[in-house]
Structure 1
Amino acid sequence: MKISYKWLNQLISLNETPENVGKILTDTGLEVESTEKIESVPGGLEGVVIGEVLTCEKHPEADKLSLTTVDVGQGQPLNIVCGAPNVRAGQKVVVALVGATLYPVSGEPFTIKKAKIRGAASEGMICAEDEIGLGTSHAGVMVLTTDLPNGTPAVNYFGLEADYQIEIGLTPNRADAASHLGVARDLKAVLQRPIQWPSVDAFKVDNQNLPIAVTVENPEAAPRYTGLTIDGLTVGESPDWLKQRLRTIGLNPINNIVDVTNYVCHELGQPLHAFDADQITGGTVIVKTVAEGTPFVTLDGIERKLSAYDLMICNASEPMCIAGVFGGQKSGVKAQTTRIFLESAYFSPAYIRRTSQYHGLKTDASFRFERGTDPNMPVFALKRAALLIQEVAGGTVSSDVIDRYPAPIPDRIVEIRYKNVDRLIGIRIDRAEIIRILESLDIQISNQTDLGFTAQVPPYRVDVEREVDVIEEILRIYGLGNVPLSSHLSSDFLSEFPETDPDQLQERASQLLAANGFYETLSNSLTRPAYHEAIRATLPHADVQLLNPLSEDLSVMRQTLLFSGLEALVYNINRRQKDLKIFEFGKVYSRDGERFYERPRLGIWMAGRMQPESWLTGNQRSGDAALTYHDLGGIVQKLLTSFRVKATDNQPADPALFQYGLTLLVNKKPVVTLGLVKAGLTKLVELKQTPVFYADFDWQYLMKLYNGKVVYEEVSRFPEVRRDLSLVLDTGVTYAQISRLAYQTERKLLRDLNVFDVYEGENLDRGKKSYSVSFILQDPAQTLNDTVIDKTMNRLMSAFERELGAVIRK
């Protein structure tokens, strides 16, 4: 949300700089993301002044050029060559001095320099309006009527003062702050200064020449609906002050009527809508829902099929506007409009939110209505807008203010106990200061005792419902930074806590991965249904679908972390970050009938190179440093080792997800799957850089397997013995089978085994491969002799030949 500093200054007197105002707002919970200087015209006319042409003569070498001397308040007149046909001695003109940068309406910016034009020196430029961005005319120089002294900055003459745009990252709960008034309310509480409300005292009803009847058929959806008519107005361009206010907060001016409704919306937080009164057939406005599938053309020219739950503003014969969301093309204000019906209402947030989501329409009005506006504001905003419309477009108020409010929304009553305030904030705040803070936030206090009080919360504070909410209001205005920390924060425990702490285990894994060059990511649990459809056969259960999704792309809960990480890779690769190692702790969700599942997972993704490009590691083009499956396998093994977990078996990874890979098992249950992600899945997220390696841990199972006990043994006094075998096997035999069989055959002496070479090709029959395997033997009680070693190796070779069909190469 964007706020104008000058506009804010009209509501509350500010001596603070925009940057300091931003800090104050951030401290109150309205996080300011940026503060940007906004100039009325590009460059702010820096270096452009008022000057007076003293002399003007024809250039001897060019018929269309003039030689002038111009007084710009510097004592010595400037010599300026001018090509405008209307320049004359005695004129007050706009002069760009040497060094000034001009931003013309068309073309690139340029800087004024000293020059010689056809042999004559020129020390500046007499400007036309298009050359300084003030208009489109290039017929001649701007001739001013002013008594301002020469050398006066041009911005003073044109009234072009810079403004500052304060951008606030508004959280969904702070709907009350979605306006300049809402922001001013927080500043009022902190700075203890009054708010200067815009006056509506001048509002009056001029006549009853244009009465409009209003009927609200659905008061649940429209608890309050107000309006009035204005006759005899002229639709046209808004005045400069109004256009500048809107541009400062990022809005484009449209016409004076629409601009006023936008202005009041952003000033007071109350959306309004203006209807062409000539399109209100029957002189009647009806607020109701219509039949399912009713066609309706909105302001953008698109025909939409209405839902039976859409609240519509109708005339006697047809819908005119989707209430609180988007106007209709037919009833909107046009250039020829002279009479309007001005609407100001409080609509049910639930109705507006559902309609906005259903049609995929997000507008300034729906943004506010679906979060909750102030039900006490519509009439005040209506009068404020009517006065502004009369100021910029003329016209007379031609009906009484219509106010349909059958069941007024009451203030919220919350009981507050001081002991809870002290407990939650951590210190005892003076009771008088607590009352001052709340009353400055328009929260009325009654029934005060030594134990507490009753808080009466106005309905525009939709987020303040419970005692803890009121306490949060006290704290954010008092200032979190004003709550001191204890000099010692510690606790003593006599009991032992043998239970595994999930947070500590997550921190353990995070530190290990970070130490190996990985960055942690955090992604949305909502995802695209298309991802799940691509791997539907692999998913154990149905999707958890949102009943009221933000968008089609965020309508289901993820069942896998895979695509979250791939999207993170795409984001970084698109920003020229090619070598990526990331991980995420997150949850996945699924549904089996009426049962819902939420499971924690750990995902690891790798792409690009393992090490940065250098003379030692090679470069990406040569492929010398490209990541491999074994780089990921090494990280997975480090993590398992850190948790003192050893995989007892493996099986091929799911081919629907992985081009190749393994699922590692512990006690016949998968603990992690790792491998190369299939190219079709990377294409689905528009990830062009391959390969991408991915590991998916069952984090809950891994934590269950964690053994916190430190296991150690005395270093053996007796040496190890290594023996190597070359085994020719069928290509379908895996190293895991060799390892499992070896440990089953020799349980006492075999300490370790390792594959140090794999060969397939010439000198081997088709369908065969050769494994070179090393075996480490050791007896903790004695030194091994050749007889025992040979006997052990013969037993192993026999088992390989018998169980795996191996041929031992001697």
Structure 2
Amino acid sequence: MKISLDWLRTLIPTDKSATELAALLTGSGLEVEGVEELESIPGGLRGLVIGEVLTCEKHPDADKLSLTTVAVGDATPRQIVCGAANVAAGQKVVVALEGATLHPTQGEPFKIKKSKIRGAASEGMICAEDEIGLGTSHAGIIVLDTSLPNGTPAADYFGLGSDAVLEIGLTPNRADAASHYGVARELRALLRQPCHLPDVSAFLPPTAAAQNIQVVIEDEEACPRYAGLLLENVRIGPSPEWLQRRLRSIGLSPINNVVDVTNFVLHELGQPLHAFDADQIAGGQIRVKRAAEGEKFMTLDGTERTLRAEDLVIAGGGGEPMALAGVFGGQNSGVSAATKRVFLESAYFTPAVVRRTSQTHQLKTDASFRFERGTDPHIVLVALQRAALLLQEVAGARIAAPVVDEYPKHMLPATVRLRLSRVERLVGQHIATEQIRQILSDLEIVIHAENGDDWWLTVPSFKVDVTREADVIEEILRIYGYNNVALRPHNAASFLAKFPNPDPEILRQNTARLLSGQGFSEIITNSITNARYFEAEGETNEALVRVLNYNSADLNVLRPTVLHSALEVVRYNLNRRQRDLKLYEFGKTYHRQADGQYAEKNHLIILLTGNATAETWQHKAEKTTFHHLAGAVQQVLTALGHAAPTSQPVQHLYLAGGLTLLAHNQPVAHLGGISGVVLKRLDVNQPVWYAELDWDWLVKKYKNALVARELPKFPEVRRDLSLVVDKAVTFDQLRQIAQRAERKLLHGVNVFDVYEGDKLPEGKKSYSVSFSLQDLTQTLTDQAIDGVMQRLMQQFEKQAGAVIRR
């Protein structure tokens, strides 16, 4: 929400700067996200002053130039060379002093420098209209008719005062501050200065009218109050410059004088208004009612919308909608160039009703923004009168009839009990009773009964979110100042506490950043999918969670696995010649258990297909392999504190080969190649590597993997072994044998070559394995190293049947 400082000062007089007001408002809960300086014209005429031409002579070396001396308010007149034909002694002119930057109407800005023109020194510039951005004329210099002293800033003469705009991040509970007057009320309490509503005392409607618009509220719960006013002799046209400037300052484009006035009052007072062409109101009657189910309605943006029975509409006497109440107007009843009579609407609509209509039709407007959060029912008439007076001024309108104000059941302000002891308890320190009383008065909260420390308050209707004692205490604390609540000594801590329960969302964000940093793209797929995928693969009907009211036969079950949804993404990309994919997704799966209860689980899936690296002139393209997938999975597990899981051959319905990783004997990941049957069923025509991680378990068992250790003082030693083993023996088994055999000195095990060929016996393969040995307390001796390697070789021969190639 944007607030113009110049506009704000018309409601509350203050000499505080925009930066000072921003700090005050932010401290009270209206966070100012930015302050933007506005200028009526580029540059704001900075460095330009009013001067007086003292002398004017022909330039000795140029017929079309004049040599002048100009007084600019200081002791020494300036000598300026001027090319304008109309320059003469005795004139008051606009002078750009040395160092000023000019912003011409056309062309790039340029800086005024001391120079020589045809041999004569020139210490400034006498300006024409187009040279300083004031217009397009270049017929001659600007000659002023003024008695202002020399040296007066030109911006003061032309009335180009600067403005600043505060960008406020308005939270949903602060509907009371959704306008310039709302912010002025806040500053009244913070600055202890009076603020005032615009003066509407000149509003004098006739006591009777030959013809007026009748208003009928058919749904009083959805529309407790509806007021309107008939105006005649309205001349539609552009708004005056002051009104256009106000709207532009907060980012709005002027449209015409009637629409601009309604927008102006909305942002000034926070009360949305709507202008109807009175001649388009059927039967001279306004009906506030619910729409008919399926009824068609053309809105102002030219879109035909299908209404629902829960939508509240403003209709004419025949029942045909003219506007979606509190949201958007209709195309056929809006103000146009031909409009002569206007009916102004100012109403209070129930927030829930407006919110539902706005969401249903995906219409977000300035009006719906305020109605959804709650407006003030008691400012309805003030806003209407303010708009009427402005339309008299800018559109020549005549008030043709008395105000119509349908208010069947008056909305009473909230009554709240406040206990002073409760204030101290929630704030954490004592606030003087008189100070509390003053704060409540500044906030327009009335104390209507007192019984010692027990007070009964009447909350003004514009504070729609203040309904409980805690809300009132929050209001007191905002104005008292959060920074004025002192921290007690026992609140300090000299140590970092351990937080055993990590935030799952933070872990998810960190993991997403890790994978994205490795070149993966996150996908989000539909949790509802096709039952045929799973029935064909052997999933029992009892295990599937079926959707009872599905709209499509292709979307009729909640997915028991994320795999098929991800493969649909792969197919979509392959069909568009995007064949190299690295994807991940955090997704839920759903199952119906044997006892009839339903369960859902969170998973992280990782998927690779195509090339791992693109083809270049330096090297050929490299296909993705199981090891690329395993490396990505290992990085995730390491980041979550599960650096060294054990493994076993995968047993997964949709994977043809791979591994299941276990931590504490719990399967935490399945990874491998997706079976050809599944790929064919999904029409995917290239191999896909897939991993599925149990995200719920990984988060539950998360361990901080960041451990600080002193840098080793003693060197690491590497030794290699070549082992011939059965093909069924995995490297993981060899790694576990090594770690059990040597727990103290062995710091790393890695395989750097695998060989299978005719030089080995049938059913055998060879692993070349490196071992990193290190003692953190001393330098390893050859005797200690040989002892470790002997133990390792013995255990490999004994437990894995290995033959050591020496």
More off after superposition, 217-226 vs 126-135? 126-135
Which residue, 722, 725, 737 being the options, matches 2:723? 725
Which residue, 784, 795, 802 being the options, matches 2:798? 795
Could you say which residue in structure 2 is the equivalent of 1:337?
339
Shift of 1:414: 2.1
Query: What CA distance in whole angstroms lies between the structure 1 residues aligned with 2:51 and 2:804?
Result: 101
Query: What CA distance in whole angstroms lies between the structure 2 residues aligned with 1:673 and 1:520?
Result: 18
Could you say which residue in structure 2 is the equivalent of 1:460?
462
Query: What CA distance in whole angstroms lies between the structure 2 residues aligned with 1:750 and 1:96?
Result: 83
Cα distance change of structure 1 residues 508 and 726 upon mapping to structure 2, 3 Å threshold:
farther
Q: Secondary structure at the match of 1:50?
A: strand
Q: Deviations over 1:637-689 (max 9, x none)?
A: 6556x57x863435669999x99996632355343679999xxxxxxxxxxxx
Conserved? CA contact 1:225–1:344, under 8 Å? yes
Q: Secondary structure at the match of 2:425?
A: helix
Q: Secondary structure at the match of 1:13?
A: coil
Q: Secondary structure at the match of 2:491?
A: coil
Q: Structure 1 residue 8 and structure 2 residue 8: aligned?
A: yes
Could you say which residue in structure 1 is the equivalent of 2:219?
218
Query: What CA distance in whole angstroms lies between the structure 2 residues aligned with 1:660 and 1:121?
Result: 89
Residue correspondence of structure 1 range 83-232 to structure 2 within 5 A: 91-114=91-114, 123-138=123-138, 141-206=141-206, 208=209, 211-232=212-233
Cα distance change of structure 1 residues 427 and 749 upon mapping to structure 2, 3 Å threshold:
closer
Could you say which residue in structure 2 is the equivalent of 1:373?
375
Q: Secondary structure at the match of 2:193?
A: coil
Aligned pairs, how many? 702
Could you say which residue in structure 1 is the equivalent of 2:242?
241
Conserved? CA contact 2:322–2:333, under 8 Å? yes
Shift of 1:173: 1.1
Could you say which residue in structure 2 is the equivalent of 1:386?
388
Query: What CA distance in whole angstroms lies between the structure 2 residues aligned with 1:528 and 1:628?
Result: 19
Query: What CA distance in whole angstroms lies between the structure 2 residues aligned with 1:179 and 1:274?
Result: 20
Could you say which residue in structure 1 is the equivalent of 2:432?
430
Opposite residue 729 of structure 1, the aligned amino acid is K
Conserved? CA contact 1:72–1:78, under 8 Å? no
Opposite residue 698 of structure 1, the aligned amino acid is W
Shift of 1:138: 5.0
Conserved? CA contact 1:502–1:703, under 8 Å? no
Identity %: 47
Conserved? CA contact 1:543–1:589, under 8 Å? no
Which sections of structure 1, spanning at least 5 residues, go unmatched? Answer: 492-500, 522-526, 545-555, 564-582, 606-619, 678-691, 711-719, 778-782, 801-806
Cα distance change of structure 1 residues 342 and 58 upon mapping to structure 2, 3 Å threshold:
farther
Conserved? CA contact 2:723–2:766, under 8 Å? no
Shift of 1:121: 6.0
Cα distance change of structure 1 residues 343 and 486 upon mapping to structure 2, 3 Å threshold:
same
Shift of 1:462: 2.0
Query: What CA distance in whole angstroms lies between the structure 2 residues aligned with 1:788 and 1:150?
Result: 100
Query: What CA distance in whole angstroms lies between the structure 1 residues aligned with 2:67 and 2:546?
Result: 78
Shift of 1:442: 1.9
Opposite residue 453 of structure 1, the aligned amino acid is W
Could you say which residue in structure 1 is the equivalent of 2:499?
503
Conserved? CA contact 1:11–1:195, under 8 Å? yes
Which residue, 730, 746, 751 being the options, matches 1:756? 751
Could you say which residue in structure 2 is the equivalent of 1:665?
662
Opposite residue 95 of structure 1, the aligned amino acid is V
Cα distance change of structure 1 residues 263 and 749 upon mapping to structure 2, 3 Å threshold:
closer
Conserved? CA contact 1:274–1:333, under 8 Å? yes
Could you say which residue in structure 2 is the equivalent of 1:272?
273
Conserved? CA contact 2:189–2:439, under 8 Å? yes
Cα distance change of structure 1 residues 328 and 73 upon mapping to structure 2, 3 Å threshold:
same
Q: Secondary structure at the match of 1:416?
A: strand
Query: What CA distance in whole angstroms lies between the structure 1 residues aligned with 2:281 and 2:505?
Result: 66
Conserved? CA contact 1:44–1:162, under 8 Å? yes
Conserved? CA contact 1:298–1:329, under 8 Å? yes
Could you say which residue in structure 2 is the equivalent of 1:445?
447
Conserved? CA contact 2:725–2:764, under 8 Å? no
Could you say which residue in structure 2 is the equivalent of 1:348?
350
Residue correspondence of structure 1 range 276-675 to structure 2 within 5 A: 276-317=277-318, 318-489=320-491, 503-506=499-502, 530=525, 636=636, 638=638, 647-649=645-647, 664-666=661-663, 668-671=665-668
Shift of 1:434: 2.1
Shift of 1:26: 1.1
Cα distance change of structure 1 residues 68 and 293 upon mapping to structure 2, 3 Å threshold:
farther
Cα distance change of structure 1 residues 60 and 205 upon mapping to structure 2, 3 Å threshold:
farther
Q: Secondary structure at the match of 1:278?
A: helix
Cα distance change of structure 1 residues 41 and 282 upon mapping to structure 2, 3 Å threshold:
same
Conserved? CA contact 2:720–2:771, under 8 Å? yes
Cα distance change of structure 1 residues 291 and 653 upon mapping to structure 2, 3 Å threshold:
farther
Opposite residue 71 of structure 1, the aligned amino acid is V
Q: Secondary structure at the match of 1:237?
A: coil
Shift of 1:509: 13
Shift of 1:28: 0.7
Cα distance change of structure 1 residues 456 and 791 upon mapping to structure 2, 3 Å threshold:
same
Shift of 1:177: 0.9
Shift of 1:595: 8.0
Could you say which residue in structure 2 is the equivalent of 1:67?
66
More off after superposition, 418-427 vs 113-122? 113-122
Query: What CA distance in whole angstroms lies between the structure 2 residues aligned with 1:371 and 1:15?
Result: 31
Shift of 1:426: 1.1
Q: Deviations over 1:689-746 (max 9, x none)?
A: xxx99996635555458799x9xxxxxxxxx99965244737xx75346557x59xx9
More off after superposition, 434-443 vs 375-384? 434-443
Cα distance change of structure 1 residues 322 and 635 upon mapping to structure 2, 3 Å threshold:
same
Query: What CA distance in whole angstroms lies between the structure 2 residues aligned with 1:127 and 1:675?
Result: 77
Conserved? CA contact 2:668–2:697, under 8 Å? no
TM-score with structure 2 length normalisation?
Answer: 0.73
Shift of 1:158: 1.5
Cα distance change of structure 1 residues 760 and 45 upon mapping to structure 2, 3 Å threshold:
farther
Opposite residue 146 of structure 1, the aligned amino acid is T
Shift of 1:179: 0.9
Query: What CA distance in whole angstroms lies between the structure 2 residues aligned with 1:300 and 1:121?
Result: 61
Conserved? CA contact 1:184–1:195, under 8 Å? yes
Query: What CA distance in whole angstroms lies between the structure 2 residues aligned with 1:142 and 1:662?
Result: 85
Shift of 1:378: 0.8
More off after superposition, 288-297 vs 379-388? 288-297
Shift of 1:469: 1.4
Conserved? CA contact 2:731–2:751, under 8 Å? no
Shift of 1:331: 2.6
Conserved? CA contact 1:56–1:66, under 8 Å? no
Could you say which residue in structure 2 is the equivalent of 1:549?
none
Query: What CA distance in whole angstroms lies between the structure 2 residues aligned with 1:633 and 1:281?
Result: 69
Q: Secondary structure at the match of 1:234?
A: coil
Opposite residue 385 of structure 2, the aligned amino acid is K
Query: What CA distance in whole angstroms lies between the structure 1 residues aligned with 2:415 and 2:56?
Result: 77
Shift of 1:268: 0.9
Conserved? CA contact 2:225–2:405, under 8 Å? yes
Shift of 1:161: 0.6
Could you say which residue in structure 1 is the equivalent of 2:20?
20
Q: Secondary structure at the match of 2:444?
A: coil
Shift of 1:418: 2.9
Conserved? CA contact 2:326–2:368, under 8 Å? yes
Q: Deviations over 1:157-197 (max 9, x none)?
A: 12111111111111111111111111122222222222222
Opposite residue 649 of structure 1, the aligned amino acid is S
Q: Secondary structure at the match of 1:11?
A: coil
Shift of 1:762: 7.9
Opposite residue 661 of structure 2, the aligned amino acid is L
RMSD over aligned Cα, in angstroms?
A: 5.4
Cα distance change of structure 1 residues 771 and 106 upon mapping to structure 2, 3 Å threshold:
farther
Query: What CA distance in whole angstroms lies between the structure 2 residues aligned with 1:649 and 1:598?
Result: 25
